[in-house]
Amino acid sequence: MRKPVIAGNWKMYKTRGEAVAFIEELKPRIANVEHCDVIVAPPFTALAEAAQTAKGSKVGIAAQDVHWDAEGAHTGDVSPGMLLDAGCSHVIIGHSERRHDHGETDEQVNRKLKAALAAGLTPIVCVGETLEEREGGQTQKVLERQFLGGFAGLTPPEFSRIMMAYEPVWAIGTGRTATPELAAESHAFLRNLARRQFGDEQANAVRILYGGSVKPQNVAGLMAQEEIDGALVGGASLSVESFLAIINYPSA
């Protein structure tokens, strides 16, 4: 059984104070949650205080990006060791906004992934097609390219330490969610790629989250799909009430 994961990606939202207040409010309200893991990804500036606030609770802290070098002349970047030092347990890698805003390539995703793993962080690796690619019948080709490039050179034990997120770009921040069936189809495709590259055990165990306009109203339908192991939530993770409603999807 794969334990579901509900992760909130806060993107470029929330000051340190807002992040701390959110986690203070969330902590007691998920104290009895056993059915899923809960993670939030604050911006870099709020990571250390968020992690301090989350200490000893069920809230895991993820960074939204990482550089592959341990240190160096990389203005604006942050290393895996710095994320650990700030108290992170997870890191999102290859989010479509990084790929599109910063031209991040599959090769860079791969370098970041390897560096995060070497440091002991749990990577959440994002893949997904654009609307143009979907309409052009390229979805599986794009996912395969991102998967093979992003996970190149990983051993099965390394792969067992990652999570994936399928995030169709056309569904992110648009209010246009993939139907549960459509999402599940891509998840199954990704799981088969994992089977081919890393074997049955890894493929059956890897948790694949869906991301793209997940809301309290649609999460239960998505989570009812056998192939969908959780959600990576952007906009709806910014308020405690809507994030909690998503976390509590079994009682929706």
**Nearest CA to 98 among 122, 124, 132, 72?**
124
Per CB under 6 A, 167 contacts ligand PEP: yes
Non-local CB neighbours of 128 within 8 Å, separated by 6+ positions: 96, 142, 143, 146, 165, 166, 167, 168, 169, 172, 211, 212
The least distance separating ligand PEP from the CB of residue 167, rounded to whole angstroms, comes to: 5
Per CB under 6 A, 228 contacts ligand PEP: no
The least distance separating ligand PEP from the CB of residue 173, rounded to whole angstroms, comes to: 4
The DSSP call for residue 2 is P
Measured CA to CA in angstroms, residue 130 lies from 141, 159, 169 at distances of 12, 25, 5
The least distance separating ligand PEP from the CB of residue 45, rounded to whole angstroms, comes to: 18
Per CB under 6 A, 173 contacts ligand PEP: yes
Judged by CB under 6 A, which of 233, 242, 248, 249 binds ligand PEP?
A: 233
Query: Which two three-digit tokens encode residue 192?
Result: 């088969």
Stretch that binds ligand PEP, among 101-109, 165-173, 187-195, 243-251 (CB under 6 A): 165-173
Kindly identify the residues of this chain, within the stretch 81-100, that bind ligand PEP according to CB under 6 A: none
Count Cβ atoms below 10 Å from residue 227 Cβ, excluding itself. Answer: 19
Stretch that binds ligand PEP, among 21-29, 145-153, 197-205, 234-242 (CB under 6 A): 234-242
Judged by CB under 6 A, which of 64, 234, 242, 249 binds ligand PEP?
A: 234
Residue 187 annotated in active site: no
Residue 95 annotated in active site: yes
| Residue 127 backbone phi and psi in degrees, to 5 | -135, 160
> CA geometry: angle at 123 spanning 104 and 85, to 5°?
100
**Nearest CA to 104 among 135, 74, 141, 65?**
65
Binding residues (CB under 6 A) for ligand PEP: these are 9, 11, 167, 172-173, 211-214, 232-236
Residues annotated as catalytic are: 95, 167
